[in-house]
Amino acid sequence: MNWWQILLIALGALLVVTAVHDLAQRKRSILRNFPVVGHLRFVLEAIGPELRQYIFTSNDGERPFSRDQRRWIYSSAKDQNTYFGFGTDNDLEHAPGYLIIKHAPFPILTPPPGHPGDDPDHRLPCAKVLGGSRGRAKAFRMPSVVNISAMSYGSLSGVGIEALNRGAELAGVLHWSGEGGISRHHEHGGDLIWQIGTGYFGCRNPDGSFSPERFDQVIAAHPKIRGVELKLSQGAKPGLGGLLPAAKITKEISEIRGIPMGEDCASPAAHSAFGDIDSMLDFVEMLAERSGLPIGIKSAVGDGGFFDDLARRMARTGRGVDWITVEGRRWDRCRAAHLHRPRGPAVPHRVQPRLPVLRRGRDHRRRGVHRVGPAGPARPGHGRVRARMRRRQRRPGGHVGARVHPVAALPHRSLSHRRGHEQPPTDLGSRPHAQVGAGGALPRPTSQGTGVVVAGMWC
């Protein structure tokens, strides 16, 4: 017999065996009704994401990052060409809240590259002084509005945390530590914001309660800590808290977090050191007095009334936080849960601008508190990326100029929508915009007060 005859016989025998197996099994009705060919259904289902990603989906049709955005990220990571042509396939006319950039007739002048006054790093410092309005001993102005948001050591490897911290030093930005505590991997030159969650990792007693003495020791041992953030809630663990299995607790993690080896470590859903706004503000002031650092809070938006009550208490009592980090559940991609959990909790990204806490910025500013804004990722100028930098410079003759920074971000919908409007206006003349010219120096930031971190950037 020839080799091809042997191959045909073997192939026929394989098909017969497969058909008999499909008819005999009782787990999949498709295979029982359509033996052999029914396997094509599972093959197509397995390669479906790749087919949709590379063949059927448009360049800007995927979420949370479109093909254009991923292309920009890949090109930047490989130090390749990141320029895109002016032509676009985006739906400019019908996309809600699409950014329109209008030219200014009298733009702010910018020194050409290489001339005196030119900043090749395009620094964009924060306009607010953290802790300045409340007289914190170590108040400071953030050197950048774009920073590195929190990921704990344990969620990321030591090499990953080290890379982020070294990058923070090179870029001149702040590095949020995550609630897992400060590790040796955070000590590579970058300035830190120490995040403290309900587990009080790094500053806890053996029973899991907050330890002021351990808090003081960590602050003294890490001079790069520029602020402390209390994590109230997030989109990934609403109502249940978190659990670190004993199998994942290494000796290093045990020492960093102050937890025993061989036991599951639970992060409760709520803080044990405070239980309402008044006690939280007392706790904030206690931390600020012991450390001299600005103190902020982080919370996923669930109850808009909390922020209104917080603003009133801060205005009435003089106690207060120095910044607020608002987290939306849409962007949490580092954790997993049952299907109904990650898609239900916390206010969605596109709904956040409609909350009263986000619409009443004017009322809060009258009380001395800056408006809270919703969270969103900072990425190149597509989709939900918005040029929010409306820090304007008053010019002679009353003209107001502005400069738009390429990595500033805002949510998908404009914050200026009035109550009751189901859709933002679609005519080009009424869309949110910022005036830009050929360039221009940023005004010198001088304001103080409570600000808002929007997914790693400062507003």
Tens of pLDDT, residue by residue over 271-320, are 999 999 999 999 999 999 999 999 999 987 777 788 889 999 999 998 99
Considering only 204-213, 214-223, 288-297, 448-457, which range has the smallest mean pLDDT? 448-457
**Which is nearest to 84 in space by CA: 76, 92, 93?**
76
**Which is nearest to 144 in space by CA: 76, 190, 82, 194?**
190
pLDDT at 447 over 60: no
Contacts of 152 (CB under 8 A, 6+ apart): 177, 178, 179, 180, 181
pLDDT at 50 over 50: yes
Q: What single letter denotes the amino acid at residue 95?
A: A
Considering only 17-31, 110-124, 142-156, 258-272, which range has the smallest mean pLDDT? 110-124
Contacts of 271 (CB under 8 A, 6+ apart): 198, 230, 232, 280
User: Which pLDDT belongs to residue 1?
Assistant: 75
Give the bridge partners for 299, in sequence order: 326
**Sign of the alpha-carbon torsion through 392, 394, 400, 401:** negative
Considering only 196-205, 289-298, 399-408, which range has the smallest mean pLDDT? 399-408
pLDDT at 72 over 50: yes
Intervals of CATH 3.20.20.70 along the chain: 135-335+342-379+450-458
Q: How many CA atoms lie within 13 A of 181 on its CB side?
A: 23
pLDDT at 234 over 90: no
Question: In 84-224, which ranges are E strands?
Answer: 100-103, 128-130, 140-141, 174-176, 191-196
Q: Which helix (H) or strand (E) holds 404?
A: none
The encoded tokens of residue 166 equal: 């070294």
pLDDT band at 95 (very low <50, low <70, confident <90, very high): confident
Q: Whole-number mean pLDDT of the chain?
A: 75
Contacts of 392 (CB under 8 A, 6+ apart): 400, 401, 402, 443
Considering only 136-145, 222-231, 296-305, which range has the smallest mean pLDDT? 296-305
User: How many helices and strands (H and E) does the chain possess?
Assistant: 12, 16
- The CATH architecture one would assign to domain 135-335+342-379+450-458 is Alpha-Beta Barrel (3.20)
Q: How many CA atoms lie within 13 A of 210 on its CB side?
A: 16
In this structure, the chain runs to a length of 459
pLDDT band at 328 (very low <50, low <70, confident <90, very high): low
User: Which pLDDT belongs to residue 196?
Assistant: 95
pLDDT at 230 over 90: yes
